[in-house]
């Protein structure tokens, strides 16, 4: 279930509860295996409205998103410059420019995958260090160096 965490709130003593069972016919899940339930925010009632979705909506390919923070990453400007200068194409000026932008978009996507993988590795290393320090803190007091002070 997606959306809200609880589906009912008692106004008297502020108790929260969640609807976690649904009545369906025996063949429902075999006919609609991708079914999902979403609890929406409650506004006027003490119950959340619930939506049952039985089909997967396909809105086409995911749009290309560009974040300004990428401009601050080391090597981004070089990737863009290299891609822009190495493109070879032909056609009318507008078709040529559109193709050049498509090429640049693909190069940026490849660069982003590489950078994201490196960032994920750095985060995992940092989380491992934090867990190790937390385990030490459970067994003995930490030194100033271990606390990072």
Query: Do residue 31 and residue 80 come from a single domain?
Result: no
Query: Do residue 54 and residue 75 come from a single domain?
Result: no
Query: Do residue 25 and residue 3 come from a single domain?
Result: yes
Query: Do residue 28 and residue 86 come from a single domain?
Result: no
Query: Do residue 128 and residue 78 come from a single domain?
Result: yes
Domain hosting residue 4, numbered range: 1-58
Residue with tokens 């194409």, as numbered in its chain: 89
Choosing from 58, 78, 94, the residue where a domain stops is 58
Q: How many domains does the chain have?
A: 2
Residue 105 domain-assigned (yes or no)? yes
Q: What is the pTM of this model?
A: 0.51
pLDDT at residue 35, as a whole number = 84
Query: Do residue 52 and residue 95 come from a single domain?
Result: no
Query: Do residue 116 and residue 81 come from a single domain?
Result: yes
pLDDT string in tens for the chain (149-residue length) = 777 777 777 665 556 777 777 788 878 888 888 888 888 877 667 777 888 888 767 778 888 889 999 999 999 999 999 999 999 989 999 999 999 999 999 999 999 999 999 999 999 999 898 888 878 777 777 777 877 75
pLDDT at residue 70, as a whole number = 93
Query: Do residue 91 and residue 46 come from a single domain?
Result: no
pLDDT at residue 105, as a whole number = 95
- Terminal-to-terminal C-alpha distance of the chain: 43
Choosing from 11, 33, 58, the residue where a domain stops is 58
Q: State the SS3 of 93-135.
A: HHHHHHHHHHHHHHHHHHHHHHHHHHHHHHHHHHHHHHHHHHH
Q: Would you state the structure tokens that stand for residue 106, as one six-digit string?
A: 């693909």
């Amino acid at each position: 279930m997606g959306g809200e965490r609880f589906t009912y709130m008692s106004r008297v003593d502020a108790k929260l509860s969640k609807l976690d069972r649904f009545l369906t016919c025996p063949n429902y899940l075999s006919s609609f295996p991708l079914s999902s339930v979403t609890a929406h925010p409650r506004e006027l009632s003490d119950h959340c409205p619930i939506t049952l979705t039985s089909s997967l909506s396909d809105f086409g390919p995911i749009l290309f998103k560009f974040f300004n923070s990428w401009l601050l990453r080391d090597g981004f400007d070089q990737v863009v410059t290299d891609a822009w200068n190495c493109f070879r194409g032909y056609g009318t000026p507008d078709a040529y420019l559109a193709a050049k932008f498509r090429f640049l978009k693909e190069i940026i996507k490849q660069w982003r995958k590489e950078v994201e993988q490196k960032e994920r590795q750095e985060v995992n290393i940092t989380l491992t260090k934090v867990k190790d320090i937390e385990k030490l803190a459970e067994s003995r007091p930490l030194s100033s160096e271990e606390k990072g002070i």
